[in-house]
Structure 1
Amino acid sequence: MPEIRRYAEADWPSIARIHDAARLDELRDSAGVEAFLTLEQTAEGEGLFDGDLWVAVEDGEVAGFAAYAEAELTWLYVDPARYRRGLGRALLRHTLANSSDETVECTVLDGNPAALALYLSEGFEVVETRTGGLAGNESFQATGHIMTWRRSAPAR
């Protein structure tokens, strides 16, 4: 199980590297790699630091990160060299557990079946699918699945 902790400034090179590698995978079968912008180019404009920012640490190295603001999971990326090890699931569960919101939203690009499967397996539901400007690079079109998760009532 990875350690999940709050982001520290020293984590920037790691999360930038992780984002830039994983974002290319995310775009490959959706908006296209031509739409790629680095984390350096998009972090401020896309509100990376607007809420909570968590990093997953595995074997002493930052291996993924998740950002959460205003009832929305806004970023979740894992180092491609560490895909399918449960890091994304751990970050997602940590984020949901640390949210006080009853409903959480996220958007998954069409063409990203691994992310879609992860969110569905954790109780998210697709509530809408829409096509429009790609967040962060609006000159490219993308189709996204807007998903919501609702906190369950405690068992009695």
Structure 2
Amino acid sequence: MSAIVIRPYCDSDWPAIARIHDAARLDELRGSAGVDAFRTLAQTADAEGLFDGCVWVAEIDASVAGFVALGEDEITWLYVDPHRYRRGVGRALLRHALSAAGPRVEVTVLDGNPAALALYESEGFTVTQTRTGRLAGNEAFPATGHVMHHEATGSAPA
């Protein structure tokens, strides 16, 4: 397989990340809040602060394969092109975000998304809380999320 290159997001990446989000978000919602809760990236990016922090994309052979956003030591978005699942793209993006973050990083994973839960756990995240409430980005739907934290090696718990 070709090398995965992580680089900062640029405006010309928008069509690719919108396509990736919209396809992968449907997969994410199938096991959790349901596909009726789906809203496109164009509908949610501004209100949910996609660009409030740092955004990076993963490229394979000059094609965007996924993206991650990090804001104030929280991974707020991580999506991979469904055609690139299980090829190390999500792990590469996650590790890149962790390298740029502080000693304690948070992420929330929807209940019913075992692949994401397994990825974060394999990189040292632990579930610290489970919350049920309204789905971020489409509050008409209930959802349960697992709040997970990652502590950098050698750091004390907060």
Q: Aligning the two structures, in what range does the TM-score lie when normalised by the shorter sequence? A: over 0.9
Gaps of 5+ in 1: none
> How many angstroms apart in 1 are the aligned matches of 2:145 and 2:5?
30
2:71 maps to 69
Amino acid across the alignment from 1:97: S
1:131-146 equivalences in 2 (<5 Å): 131-146=132-147
CA-to-aligned-CA distance 1:24-80 (integer Å, 9 cap, x gap) = 000001000000000000000000000000000011100000000011000000000
1:148 maps to 149
> How many angstroms apart in 1 are the aligned matches of 2:129 and 2:76?
17
- Deviation above 6 Å: which 4+ runs of structure 1? none
2:122 maps to 121
Compute the TM-score of the two structures, normalised by the length of structure 1. Answer: 0.97
SS of the equivalent of 2:67 reads strand
- Count residues with an aligned counterpart: 153
Amino acid across the alignment from 2:118: A
Decide which of 14, 17, 20 is 1:15's aligned counterpart.
17
RMSD of equivalent CA atoms:
0.9
SS of the equivalent of 1:3 reads strand
Gaps of 5+ in 2: none
> How many angstroms apart in 1 are the aligned matches of 2:122 and 2:98?
14
SS of the equivalent of 1:27 reads helix
Amino acid across the alignment from 2:130: T
- How far did 1:98 drift? 1.3
> How many angstroms apart in 2 are the aligned matches of 1:138 and 1:2?
35
2:112 maps to 111
- How far did 1:12 drift? 0.1
> How many angstroms apart in 1 are the aligned matches of 2:144 and 2:96?
27
Structure 1 residue 51 corresponds to structure 2 residue 53: yes
Compute the TM-score of the two structures, normalised by the length of structure 2. Answer: 0.95
